[in-house]
Structure 1
Amino acid sequence: MLQSIFQTILTLSVVGDVLAGILLLLKPLTRKAFSPKWQYYIWLIVLLAMVVPVSIKLPPHTIEAPSAPPPAVIEQTNATQTTDQPPPIRHQETKILDGTPMEYRSIELAPNVSIGIIDAMALIWLFGAALFLLCGIVSYIVFWHKIRKNAFAVKDCRELEECKGAMKIRRKIGLLMMDGVTAPLLVGIFRPVIVLPHIDMLSENLSFVLRHELTHYKRKDLIYKWLAMLVKAVHWFNPLVYFVVKNMVEDCEISCDAVVTKDMDDENKDNYMKTILSLLSATGLKNQTFTTAMCPDAKQIKRRFAMIKQAKKTKKILSIISVLTAAVVTATAIFTGSALADMTKDGLEYRTQNEVYFKDGVKFSVNVLGKTLPPWVNDITGDDRNADIAINRIQTRDTKGRVETHIILELKGTRGQAKLSSGAYGLYGTSNTILYKNKRVYEASTLGGMEFHEFNNIGYPEYRNLPVASLISPNSGQKRHVSVYFAYDGEKKISFASVNFDTANENDNVPAASFDQYDYLEADNFEFIGDFEQAFLYELENPEFPRFFADFEKDYKNKKVDGISCAVSAASTDSIILKTDITLDAISSYEIYVTDDRGLEILSGAGEIEKGYPPQNIILTPREEIETSVVHLVTGDVVSDASRNTDPKYKLYSGKTYRLDIGLLDDGGNIVYRQREYVTIP
């Protein structure tokens, strides 16, 4: 909730900055062409735009319900899961993010106690706004207390009643006189009072002063100033807002002068200006935040006098232009707010570029001196025969919203470098029935292996169109292949790494005939980046498919979108039922994946969205058949077999909590809405 409010405030702050920037750029022109009144009230649009979120949104198109509704329950099981690959992505810009995006980062306050950076920023903003508002109100209370304590009432002031009568003001307005105020001022919205400095003043000068302050009252300028104070409190972090309020206060006095001197001749205008000058010598108590002061700043006097002397009736054409300009500024506020709302709204997600997120990695070196290796290794290592290896785990999100995990190997030497992507990784067996070049790997408690190659293969040509392709080297034609095995000891620490450099066949696999052709290499000195050592092992033991949520989105906050409602309505050891009510035309289908606390995918479902009907149920049940696949590590041959699901891992258990990742797709297969739910089986 607070984070959403803070994000709205940031959006409004940008809207205000855009409007203020436009007005400040145009001010040299508008100051000469438009009236002081226009100059003053145009800032009101800026202030309102910074506290009132306004945007234009067309209502979603609704579909009339057909005469005959379909069955109320749509049952989906894992057997219906779609397996089609998304079409290749070509010529898409890739955005590389170094680590977790800001909105998902956190600050550790204490062991096992952390707070998200955006949440922390929201709390700082709230504290600052509350402190600013509190200081302003306390300052006003102290100021008003000093007035009540030190001022004395002026009874039966003839000039005040004459001015009120001339200006058609019937409300009672108090008149006080006080030592210590710098200038005449109006204070109090509900009980307005004019406070005069305790100095001698001619009757004519007093009339000028009273007409000036009564003009402030009649125009409700105090309410305007309270709004300005509220905007400063809400946007205390924005330096431009102080400049806006400063200009507003200055234009307030100038426009008030223009109203008071509108029908004066030159002599009276001179006397009015002399009255202002005579008040500048007063010193003492000063608080302009919630008051109107007739001459608050000597620096303003030059411009105020110039405006009084140069005052002339605005031409009709300029009046029309000023109205049109104000309309354009208002439209700009609405358009900017709408545009930013579309960019940051809690709504459908459309992506125009691929994204790459860095997770963690490891660095180490090997020396190839005296080793029999493929010729392509000589193109990388120099005379020192050293090869620096960096392995980075990343996640990519393509423009359709699909997330995949990849591992990139970067091989560097004094002669060149190569970047390869993982074709496979996982837990490898350490029994004697599996052949390894390095016999030490049989002693490992756990063996995590990775295979990297250039993806020249004829079976998966679209790989070169995926986001990860922007991070690897172009095909060299040498069919480079690297295998890395991390040997974990009993304490789950990496004791050493065994590295094989090979040449692959056309399917990017190492031919069996070349198994003994090249030597292996070994490394035991590592530089870990992030939590690679433990995180990689955990992923090996608990493989998880990210689908459409990246790792940093584990605390993903669901977004509200009009026309989309999806919630768990019932759960048992037999099934999980979701109640959905989706009316948006943009949504055509759904995908749902259910995982346990280890990240193991238990259930999944996919289907079309039937819009226009009453709310529908989607039932997810454990699949009755599973497909088991065995890949031969040497030949790469795949053996598949469908069998009855007797694996207890793929069941729902009472008392356990499961995560549901829900994705809604448009007609183009883009994941435009995501939702995460958690359910505990009773």
Structure 2
Amino acid sequence: MDLSSIFEMVVLSSAMGSMVAVLILGVKWLLKSKLSAFWQYYIWFLLVIRLVVPMGFETPLSKLNVIVPAAQKVHIDQNSPEINSSQPASSMKVKNNSSEVQSQEKGSVQEVNSHGFNYYFNVAGIIWAAVAVLSAAIILFVNFLFTLKINRESWCKDMDTVKLLERCKSRMNISRFIPIVYDTHVGVPSLLGVVKPQILISPDLLNNISYEEKKYIFLHELAHFKRKDIFVSWIMLFLGIINWFNPVILFALHRMREDSEISCDAYVLSYLGKNEYRRYGETIIDFVKFISNSRKIPGSIGIARGKSNMKRRMTMIKNFKNKPQKWWVILAFALISVFIMGMTNLPGKTVISANEKNDFSIRKSNIDYVNIVKKFLPQNSKIITSDKTKEEDNVLLKDLDNDGRDEIITAYRLAEETSGEDEKISILVLKEKEGNWVKVMDEPGAGIKLDAALTADLDGDGKQEVLLGRRIGGTAAQLSVYGWSNNGLDKISREDIYYSKLDVVNVQGNSRQDIAVWQHDTGEAYIVDVLKWNKGTFIQDEENYRGYFKEVVVPYYEEKVKAVPDTGFYWYYLADAQIKAGDKKDALKSIDKGLQLNTGYPSPENFNKLKEKAFK
């Protein structure tokens, strides 16, 4: 998985986390005092889960979603027959990391700007990674130095103090060895360490506080240990580093830390008598004056973190009631609602459209690239053109290796080669290296023009494969797959596949991408299949039929039967798509409609075979 893929996952997770954070804040505001201090804190773990788990799961709400665009593509269409004028996924919106270039009747070619969305997204990913790595390195380094320093400090050997700590541990059923370490830099008493926990306290402070205050300090720090707050604080710290660009997440994590202290106070109060609540609160207030002189050490938690949260802590202590609340039904409903909505996948799209043009602009300097291409063409060869297109319309720019710089893609024909059934073309790909253009692919083969140039991660290894298609007939094209090597682009597909139209599909819960192949049948009807990459060839991926057929194929044929309701083959293919989308009830209705029309094609036998599939 490359950096841009990781950054995309982080951005999507952060956006979804922001929604969860807002929902949590809304629930907390609605329930207000009805939520105990315990639940005020632990409801935030739904946000932590959302940020830690990169992918959501499917819920009924996910039916509103489509899957995030997957691949980058360039599609060229010169003098296409009428059958290709209607794109199967025309209702699907194209994201900037998916590009299509399509020749129009006047021959104009739309191209991806060399510094388009991908380029800036990659730059943003590099900046994000640099800030995150630097922040993490600084925090870990500071913590490492402080831990080394603490390991050289002496332990408290005052027997009365040690015995008091042991009594507090016994009261909380803690058997773990936790020493008291003298340190003059922490200011307020703190707990440090996940693996080897220790209580840090200034020797001067320890000698000038009462026995009762020592007890409250120890109970508070032991409560942090019992609740695994140090471990959670590290998780929150690194979630903040990963989402440093998102103020909503940073604010939510700040509130979670504040609620952690309030929840910890409530936990301590559950071990105290009512007559001790006030004195415990006064002890916390007494330590606030030490905060300004206290060093904030990553991975440590003190009895008084800051002054901003003090009012809320005192209010909780004043109103604390150590008994179960009666609002558990509302609470459970709220938690489940937040969890389901929070874990539902972001709205996205299954497929990239093959007919969206408004995201791209015409390059003004195409003629320069034509001259570059001509330097690499063999003698007696020419760039493929038509009656409606010029050379500059057929020299295309596309970032094929996701490095933020465009490669040049074109197709040419040798002068002695003539049009006909055996017509051949060569696909030429040029890459800029250190200011010079070099040839990375020059492959001859059957065809009349370059049909498609796409990039997609077919095997989920984080590297984009290159898919190049040659138009070999009016409605037929041939697709080959290539991979990058030190020598350039090498063909890695053992056998080619044939298609009329092509889409690239994301696979939910997987970093790989599939392709959807549309093969022309009759009229504007196509036989559609979803294929996955398997050891140099494509095979059916029936496990991922549902999403693509539901979001793309079914709507396509619903439009067709709406426009031409008396055409039997559209009802047939609609029923087939509905079966593959998992909607067998509607499929049976479509089959019955097709049988009633009895148009001859497909035959009633074919409709009945389809009905058998629907009943399975």
TM-score, normalised to structure 1, is 0.50
Q: For residue 176 of structure 1, what is the aligned residue in structure 2?
A: 181
Q: Structure 2 vs 1, CA of residues 197 and 618 (structure 1 numbering), >3 Å: closer, same or farther? A: closer
Matched residues in 2 for 1:100 and 1:587: separation?
A: 15
Native 8 Å contact 2:16 2:346 kept in 1: no
Provide Cα deviations, 1:650-673, integer angstroms capped at 9, x if missing partner.
xxxxxxxxxxxxxx9957489x9x
Instruction: State the SS of the aligned residue for 2:309.
Output: helix
Q: Structure 2 vs 1, CA of residues 187 and 161 (structure 1 numbering), >3 Å: closer, same or farther? A: same
Provide Cα deviations, 1:74-116, integer angstroms capped at 9, x if missing partner.
xxxxxxx9945246699x99989999979965559xxxxx993
Query: What letter corresponds to residue 121 of structure 2 in structure 1?
Result: I
Provide Cα deviations, 1:313-332, integer angstroms capped at 9, x if missing partner.
56644123222222222111
Q: Which runs of 5+ in 1 are unaligned?
A: 59-80, 109-113, 363-422, 428-445, 449-542, 592-605, 620-663, 673-682
Q: For residue 165 of structure 2, what is the aligned residue in structure 1?
A: 160
Q: For residue 556 of structure 1, what is the aligned residue in structure 2?
A: 455
Q: For residue 339 of structure 2, what is the aligned residue in structure 1?
A: 330
Native 8 Å contact 1:100 1:358 kept in 2: no
Matched residues in 2 for 1:83 and 1:666: separation?
A: 21
Quick check: 1:214 aligned with 2:212?
no
Matched residues in 2 for 1:259 and 1:217: separation?
A: 12
**CA displacement at 1:39 relative to structure 2:** 1.2
Native 8 Å contact 1:588 1:666 kept in 2: no
Provide Cα deviations, 1:396-416, integer angstroms capped at 9, x if missing partner.
xxxxxxxxxxxxxxxxxxxxx
Residue of 283, 303, 316 corresponding to 1:294: 303
Q: Structure 2 vs 1, CA of residues 159 and 326 (structure 1 numbering), >3 Å: closer, same or farther? A: same
Q: For residue 126 of structure 2, what is the aligned residue in structure 1?
A: 123
Instruction: State the SS of the aligned residue for 2:244.
Output: coil
Native 8 Å contact 2:93 2:356 kept in 1: yes
Q: For residue 151 of structure 2, what is the aligned residue in structure 1?
A: 148
**CA displacement at 1:352 relative to structure 2:** 10
Q: CA RMSD in A?
A: 5.2
Q: For residue 193 of structure 1, what is the aligned residue in structure 2?
A: 198
Provide Cα deviations, 1:200-248, integer angstroms capped at 9, x if missing partner.
1211111111111111101101110010111011112112222122111
Residue of 296, 316, 319 corresponding to 1:310: 319
Matched residues in 1 for 2:94 and 2:246: separation?
A: 29
**CA displacement at 1:285 relative to structure 2:** 3.7
For residues 523-542 of structure 1, the aligned pairs below 5 Å read none
Query: What letter corresponds to residue 309 of structure 1 in structure 2?
Result: K
Q: For residue 262 of structure 1, what is the aligned residue in structure 2?
A: 270
Matched residues in 2 for 1:171 and 1:611: separation?
A: 56
Native 8 Å contact 1:160 1:207 kept in 2: yes
For residues 388-427 of structure 1, the aligned pairs below 5 Å read 425-426=388-389
Instruction: State the SS of the aligned residue for 1:194.
Output: strand
**CA displacement at 1:556 relative to structure 2:** 3.3
Instruction: State the SS of the aligned residue for 2:5.
Output: helix
Provide Cα deviations, 1:485-531, integer angstroms capped at 9, x if missing partner.
xxxxxxxxxxxxxxxxxxxxxxxxxxxxxxxxxxxxxxxxxxxxxxx
Q: Structure 2 vs 1, CA of residues 13 and 101 (structure 1 numbering), >3 Å: closer, same or farther? A: farther
**CA displacement at 1:265 relative to structure 2:** 3.7
Q: For residue 589 of structure 1, what is the aligned residue in structure 2?
A: 518
Q: For residue 371 of structure 1, what is the aligned residue in structure 2?
A: none
**CA displacement at 1:120 relative to structure 2:** 2.0
Q: Structure 2 vs 1, CA of residues 576 and 247 (structure 1 numbering), >3 Å: closer, same or farther? A: closer
Q: Structure 2 vs 1, CA of residues 323 and 286 (structure 1 numbering), >3 Å: closer, same or farther? A: farther
Residue of 207, 218, 234 corresponding to 2:242: 234
Native 8 Å contact 1:45 1:330 kept in 2: yes
Q: Which runs of 5+ in 2 are unaligned?
A: 60-78, 101-110, 366-385, 394-446, 468-478, 484-488, 499-503, 508-513, 539-548, 560-576, 578-616
Q: Structure 2 vs 1, CA of residues 168 and 447 (structure 1 numbering), >3 Å: closer, same or farther? A: closer
Instruction: State the SS of the aligned residue for 2:262.
Output: helix
Provide Cα deviations, 1:392-437, integer angstroms capped at 9, x if missing partner.
xxxxxxxxxxxxxxxxxxxxxxxxxxxxxxx97446xxxxxxxxxx
TM-score, normalised to structure 2, is 0.54
Query: What letter corresponds to residue 83 of structure 2 in structure 1?
Result: Q
Native 8 Å contact 1:186 1:213 kept in 2: yes
Native 8 Å contact 1:568 1:579 kept in 2: no
Q: For residue 85 of structure 1, what is the aligned residue in structure 2?
A: 83
Query: What letter corresponds to residue 495 of structure 2 in structure 1?
Result: I
Q: Structure 2 vs 1, CA of residues 151 and 104 (structure 1 numbering), >3 Å: closer, same or farther? A: farther
**CA displacement at 1:357 relative to structure 2:** 2.7
Quick check: 1:244 aligned with 2:238?
no
Native 8 Å contact 1:94 1:355 kept in 2: no
Q: Structure 2 vs 1, CA of residues 97 and 318 (structure 1 numbering), >3 Å: closer, same or farther? A: closer
Q: Structure 2 vs 1, CA of residues 425 and 94 (structure 1 numbering), >3 Å: closer, same or farther? A: farther
Residue of 135, 139, 145 corresponding to 1:136: 139
Q: For residue 281 of structure 1, what is the aligned residue in structure 2?
A: 289
Query: What letter corresponds to residue 127 of structure 2 in structure 1?
Result: I
**CA displacement at 1:617 relative to structure 2:** 10
Instruction: State the SS of the aligned residue for 2:282.
Output: helix
**CA displacement at 1:281 relative to structure 2:** 2.8
Q: For residue 224 of structure 1, what is the aligned residue in structure 2?
A: 232
Matched residues in 1 for 2:248 and 2:125: separation?
A: 20
Q: Structure 2 vs 1, CA of residues 101 and 269 (structure 1 numbering), >3 Å: closer, same or farther? A: farther
**CA displacement at 1:54 relative to structure 2:** 3.1
- Structure whose CA Rg is larger: 1
Native 8 Å contact 1:216 1:256 kept in 2: yes
Matched residues in 2 for 1:263 and 1:227: separation?
A: 28
Q: Structure 2 vs 1, CA of residues 84 and 31 (structure 1 numbering), >3 Å: closer, same or farther? A: same
Q: Structure 2 vs 1, CA of residues 284 and 97 (structure 1 numbering), >3 Å: closer, same or farther? A: closer
For residues 481-496 of structure 1, the aligned pairs below 5 Å read none
Q: Structure 2 vs 1, CA of residues 616 and 230 (structure 1 numbering), >3 Å: closer, same or farther? A: closer
Matched residues in 2 for 1:614 and 1:557: separation?
A: 11
Q: Structure 2 vs 1, CA of residues 32 and 613 (structure 1 numbering), >3 Å: closer, same or farther? A: closer
Q: Structure 2 vs 1, CA of residues 352 and 118 (structure 1 numbering), >3 Å: closer, same or farther? A: same
**CA displacement at 1:618 relative to structure 2:** 9.3
Q: Structure 2 vs 1, CA of residues 98 and 176 (structure 1 numbering), >3 Å: closer, same or farther? A: closer
**CA displacement at 1:117 relative to structure 2:** 2.4
Native 8 Å contact 2:519 2:526 kept in 1: yes
Matched residues in 2 for 1:228 and 1:447: separation?
A: 54
Quick check: 1:56 aligned with 2:46?
no
Native 8 Å contact 1:132 1:236 kept in 2: no
Instruction: State the SS of the aligned residue for 1:183.
Output: coil
Native 8 Å contact 2:278 2:317 kept in 1: no
Native 8 Å contact 1:154 1:176 kept in 2: no
Native 8 Å contact 2:516 2:528 kept in 1: yes
Q: For residue 596 of structure 1, what is the aligned residue in structure 2?
A: none
Native 8 Å contact 2:94 2:352 kept in 1: no
Q: Structure 2 vs 1, CA of residues 150 and 38 (structure 1 numbering), >3 Å: closer, same or farther? A: same
Residue of 332, 340, 346 corresponding to 1:339: 346
Q: For residue 388 of structure 1, what is the aligned residue in structure 2?
A: none
Identity over aligned residues, as a percent? Answer: 22
Quick check: 1:253 aligned with 2:264?
no
Instruction: State the SS of the aligned residue for 2:293.
Output: coil
For residues 649-660 of structure 1, the aligned pairs below 5 Å read none
Q: Structure 2 vs 1, CA of residues 559 and 42 (structure 1 numbering), >3 Å: closer, same or farther? A: farther
Matched residues in 2 for 1:611 and 1:180: separation?
A: 63
Q: Structure 2 vs 1, CA of residues 330 and 289 (structure 1 numbering), >3 Å: closer, same or farther? A: farther
Q: For residue 12 of structure 2, what is the aligned residue in structure 1?
A: 11
Q: For residue 474 of structure 2, what is the aligned residue in structure 1?
A: none
Query: What letter corresponds to residue 137 of structure 1 in structure 2?
Result: L
Instruction: State the SS of the aligned residue for 2:201.
Output: strand
